[in-house]
Chain A
Amino acid sequence: MIRAVIVMNDQGKPRLVKFYEHQPVEKQQEIIRSIYGVLCSRAENVSNFVQADSTFGPDTRLVYKTFATLYFIVIFDDSENELAILDLMQVFVETLDKCFSNVCELDIVFNFNKVHTILDEIILGGQVIEMSSSEVVKAVDGISWLEKNPNSIIRVPKSISGWQGR
């Protein structure tokens, strides 16, 4: 299970914080600080894995990936595969890139609400719901359309792949 997804910049400022097991706000900040303390001292060209048991208890793992000025961090337990979590982060970032066409830190800052919407289409309750970024984009586009046309009763556009097997 995924315990948390955190995006922060290279100054340690949180840009997206989503815990799948509730943590009080002070604890969240403490976790963010301690993670930042570890990550900012890591060199380039090292592995993406960091020991996290001290923050989250035994059997938890932390995988991070740097994209420009941002750290993407996923904390999860031993029921997940580390490299697959790296794939997941890549999918998340590719999706952001498609939704914001060439995403940068500012997009995420000013559209944190949309980033939440996107994340909710990829991870639900600590489990991965969708790994195809084009599927996610479709769902998010549908939501954006509904936001702009609140009076419409038209549903989210139907995905083609969803019907092919029936």
Chain B
Amino acid sequence: MALSGMRGLSVFISDVRNCRNKEQERLRVDKELGNIRTRFKNEKGLTPYEKKKYVWKMLYIYMLGYDVDFGHMEAVSLISAPKYPEKQVGYIVTSCLLNENHDFLRLAINAVRNDIIGRNETFQCLALTLVGNIGGREFAESLAPDVQKLLISSSCRPLVRKKAALCLLRLFRKNSDVVNVDGWSDRMAQLLDERDIGVLTSSMSLFVALVSNNHEAYWSCLPKCVKVLERLARNQDVPQEYTYYGIPSPWLQVKTMRALQYFPTVEDPSTRRALFEVLQRILMGTDVVKNVNKNNASHAVLFEALALVMHLDSEKEMMSQCVALLGKFIAVREPNIRYLGLENMTRMLMVTDVHEIIKRHQAQIITSLKDPDISIRRRSLDLLYGMCDVSNAKDIVEELLQYLGTADFAMREELALKAAILAEKFAPDLSWYVDVILQLIDKAGDFVSDDIWFRVVQFVTNNEDLQPYAALKAREYLDKPAIHETMVKVSAYLLGEYSHLLARRPGCSPKEIFSIIHEKLPTVSYVYLLDYAFIHNTNNRYSSFNVCKDFDALTATGPRIAESNLGSIPQQRAVEYFALSRKGAALMDILAEMPKFPERQSSLIKKAEDTDADTAELSAIKMRTQQQASNALVVTDQRPANGAPQVSQLAMVMVPSMNDVDHASVDQPVTQANGTLSVVDPQPSAQDHAHVRSAAPAADILGDLLSPLAIEGPPGGSAPSEQNSVSGHEGTLGVDDALALAPVGDHEHTVQPIGDIAERFHALCLKDSGVLYEDPYVQIGIKAEWRSHQGRLVLFLGNKNTAPLESVHAVILPPSHLKLDLSPVPEIVPPRAQVQIPLEVVNLRPSRDVAVLDFSYKFGTSLVNNRLRLPAVLNKFLQPIQVSAEEFFPQWRLLTGPPLKLQEVVRGVRPMSLGEMANLFNSLRLMVCPGLDPNASNLVASTTFYSESTRAMLCLVRIETDPADRTQLRMTVASGDATLTIPTAAKPSAPVAQPTTPAIAASDPGAMLAGLL
């Protein structure tokens, strides 16, 4: 092993290596930084050698992940050193540490320019490398002509010229307006004649950049590219050192073919012929061999040739040859080639009419869906999704459904979405579509987004033929012993609407259906149950007496529901139904069936289009959808939607959902019920629009689905006020009047936060800067730095208005374990200004309590007051620490039983791969220690906790997962400070728990972990 040649540097590196944990490393690094800082301060006694050594040390420290915020000047100053060794260090370290906008770089421009125009080629190389790596606008302005000169100079050596080419490329790409490339096509053509492969490689990269910017100017270079390709691939005219595993410079071949893809076509017949001859040779002459490196190289060329053939859209003959090759690739053993085979097949789907040929490989592609490599499984899913059409939809979707049971959790949501889209688009008949979605919910309910089941409801509502079938299916699923919450929702909805179609079947009497849903999920949603029961009963023309009896029973449970955290909605709903049931004749109008939904583009497909980045694959899908419109959509009866003037009743039967829209819609019938119900609204459509707008805060998709329903609610109506008004009136005015909710006007003054405050808080628990709170007038950002038991936060209080923000108050309500020192807050924040309020935090002892910021300001006449949790949570006082096996096990064994060591089994966790879990740990500042646990499905992590009273305390965590059932895991936490028995018990878990628990609720493993201990 060779050493760096600088003893001090080597000693420092071995010191760092010998550090037993991250804390020791930090101490060593801090010491070194202090030393360097002192030495730099007193620059006189510094020899060039020492300066060089320190600058290298800075780079090493920077690589380890420590911010080096001084010494930049010294690094930059080395650039103008007269001798090579110092100069070289200056150049390399500067280009690593500084970004292109750094002020100090400006100081170096002259020195760099002198090196570039000077006569020393080694200096030229260094200068070109720096500019090529970080050269910004000012470099472009002052150096571009000199660099251009070097590139085309015949007296320069190749070493300099190839660097000049890439340096110019950087300047051009960053500031194409400054670098003048007019008339460069001739020079470029000349450069492409270059014999030296190194210069040619760099020039080709430059050429790609120029062509991608404007291919029109470079037509004359196209034949030159073909010549290069012929020289390499056909004539093999390349010096030995550029032959890579027997292949003439594969890199340059690839780059050349890439450059050709920037031209729309090759028109000149003789050039075209020559090109296709070479391509043919490449396609035919490549075999899979044993040597991996050779395989990679030859297939790099081959795949680029395939891409070029696809691009040029050549004669059918060559295309089918390509498909055949790809068919071969997706079956080979070499995983890289299988991966690229699948990817390119997906790409090929959009190019030409090779769809039928690709379908022949369907079986093989489905096999890849079970490949051990997730990267390959993803490509295979993409391809299946892309190649699906009416003819193979049944097979493919059924494969996807089957795979869903075993698929990686990371993929399930995407898988479910894709299966749902394909089922919708290519359904040979609608009952199959219903089957698929219900199966989807049954198998992977957690991963089926609301949009998916909303969509099936929409279909069933719009297709009368489908309704008895869907109701029957829903009824069947209810007989299963355990079903997913979403399944209960769909079933309740479908049966509520259409169970009368099942009439006489055994087990389908209203009472039976009611009780089976009721027993299925007493906790999920009384709302649906109530909706269901109410509508259901009336559809069957039950006497109002019966209805009332049912409802009396349900409303009686209302208070209990409210206590059990289900919120006010069910209770309120129950009261409303009860009131409605006494409306007499008007009821029949209210309870008519849902009218059809207007036809629109599937929100699912829209969503997929929005989110999916793979444009190639999507446009392929889109193209084919245009060619063959889905049956599912065609069967739909196009009767004008909302033809019946019954807007108000729609809200009664609205699609259930858990958010604001739901909330808002509850209000609608009620307000109208209060006296206006008998008057049927004559202007449904205008109102419709207003309703949709008022529901805007809900997700788009939701709005999309729900828009045909009349959803009206006070804009930004808040739950508490409605609640109050209901209860407030109840006593005096009787039930009917209690339904009159707070007037719309009341809400104008309440300021609603933008985004979910709880979500923002939880995000900030995992990172150190971001937005804590935002509303239309104010934004509070936060930036934090943590070091052992101390933290320094800055609150950025921004006034978004053109008027000043007045009576600003911010007070911290500190929990007892934290010492918080908030700087004074100005009472007025000027228009569009931002004030920074520093906040010092000291952690006195372990606790899971959270500090709260009580923040208020006046806007107009109304006072806005918010209590915001501050992300100064337990895990911020952790310092990840790497623990070796020798350290870990003795500690682990030392700590036995509670309260030092706690263990718990958690069930019902949101499934997560080990990688995700490791990431979560990282963001919680726990260091995952791979390899400590012999069982690969376990995870061991370590960290140190800091507080003033405990100082550093080691915490060890071990998670055991069950590969067969990812929803459960066992967590053991140990912490080794004997003086802290009780806090220890609470503490180790707390870091994990604290940030995630409240917000993400029980669905998140992190939360579960936290919650455990």
Contacts and interface: CB of A to CB of B under 8 A. Distances in A.
Interface of A: 10-12, 14, 16-18, 20, 22, 25-26, 28-29, 32-34, 37-38, 40-43, 45-51, 53, 58-59, 79, 81-84, 86-88, 90-91, 100, 104, 106-107, 109-114, 116-117, 120, 124-125, 127-132, 134-135, 139, 142-143, 146-147, 150-151, 155-156, 158-159, 161-162, 164-166
B339 interface: yes
Interface stretch (B127-135, B669-677, B948-956): B127-135
Given A37-B918, A58-B613, A87 B335 contact: no
Contact of A83 (B67, B158, B299): B299
Nearest to A33: B922
What's the interface size class on B, roughly? 35 or more
A132 B166 contact: no
B85 A150 contact: yes
B96 A116 contact: yes
Given A14-B64, A82-B340, A125 B167 contact: yes
B239 A161 contact: yes
Among A134, A150, A158, find the residue whose CB has the most chain B CB atoms closer than 10 A. Answer: A150
25 contacts: A14-B64, A26-B67, A29-B65, A45-B335, A48-B336, A49-B375, A79-B208, A79-B212, A86-B296, A100-B1, A110-B1, A111-B2, A112-B63, A116-B59, A124-B163, A127-B205, A128-B205, A131-B251, A132-B241, A147-B84, A155-B121, A158-B157, A161-B197, A161-B242, A165-B194
Interface in B306-343: 335-336, 338-340
A52 B303 CA distance: 21
A119 to B, nearest CB: 10
Given A37-B919, A134-B241, A59 B613 contact: yes
B75 to A, nearest CB: 13
A127 B300 contact: no
A160 B340 CA distance: 38
B1 A25 contact: no
B475 interface: no
A84 B68 CA distance: 35
Given A25-B66, A109-B17, A158-B157, A40 B293 contact: no
B167 to A, nearest CB: 7
A81 B300 contact: yes
Given A86-B300, A100-B2, A120-B129, A46 B63 contact: no
A166 B241 CA distance: 18
Contact of A130 (B5, B96, B201): B201
Nearest to B247: A87
Given A127-B166, A150-B83, A150-B84, 9 more contacts: A47-B376, A51-B375, A82-B300, A87-B300, A130-B198, A131-B244, A139-B159, A155-B121, A164-B195
B169 interface: yes
Contacts of B201: 128-131
A47 B121 contact: no
Contacts of B241: 132, 134-135, 161
A10 B378 CA distance: 25
Nearest to A32: B65
A127 B88 contact: no
B506 interface: no
B162 interface: yes
B915 A37 contact: yes
Given A20-B133, A111-B2, A117-B88, A87 B10 contact: no
Interface string B64-87: 111110000000000000011100
B976 interface: no
Nearest to B9: A113
Contacts of A162: 157-159, 196, 198
Interface string B245-262: 000011110100010000
B930 A83 contact: no
Interface of B: 1-5, 9-10, 13-14, 17, 56, 59-60, 62-68, 83-85, 88-89, 92, 96, 99-100, 120-122, 125, 128-129, 132-134, 154, 157-159, 162-163, 166-167, 169-170, 194-198, 201-202, 205, 208, 212, 239, 241-242, 244, 249-252, 254, 258, 293, 296-297, 299-300, 303-304, 335-336, 338-340, 372-373, 375-376, 378, 613, 768, 882, 913-915, 918-919, 922, 928, 930
Contacts of A88: 251
A58 B504 CA distance: 56
A76 B955 CA distance: 38
A113 B915 contact: no
B65 A161 contact: no
B606 to A, nearest CB: 18
Nearest to B14: A110
A132 B125 CA distance: 18
Contact of A147 (B85, B133, B239): B85
B122 A155 contact: yes
B823 to A, nearest CB: 24
B858 to A, nearest CB: 37
A142 B296 contact: no
Given A84-B254, A132-B198, A110 B3 contact: yes
A100 B3 CA distance: 10
B251 A84 contact: yes
A156 B129 contact: no
Nearest to A142: B122
A76 B372 CA distance: 25
B373 A46 contact: yes
A87 B336 CA distance: 13
A49 B913 CA distance: 18
Contacts of B378: 51
B455 to A, nearest CB: 26
Contacts of A135: 198, 241
Contacts of A156: 121-122, 125, 159
A61 B13 CA distance: 32
Contacts of A128: 201, 205, 251
Contacts of B66: 25
Contacts of A114: 4
A11 B919 contact: no
Given A53-B613, A130-B201, A47 B373 contact: yes
Contacts of B99: 22
A104 B120 CA distance: 34
B431 to A, nearest CB: 37
A129 B88 contact: no
A34 B919 contact: yes
Nearest to B64: A14
Closest 10 CB pairs of A and B: A165-B195, A83-B300, A22-B99, A46-B373, A162-B158, A47-B335, A125-B132, A84-B300, A58-B613, A29-B65
Contacts of A29: 65
Contacts of A127: 166, 169, 202, 205
Contacts of A151: 83
Among A79, A124, A155, find the residue whose CB has the most chain B CB atoms closer than 10 A. Answer: A124
B252 A131 contact: yes
Given A41-B918, A47-B375, A124-B167, A132 B339 contact: no
B254 A125 contact: no
A129 B255 CA distance: 12
Contacts of B208: 79
A22 B100 contact: yes
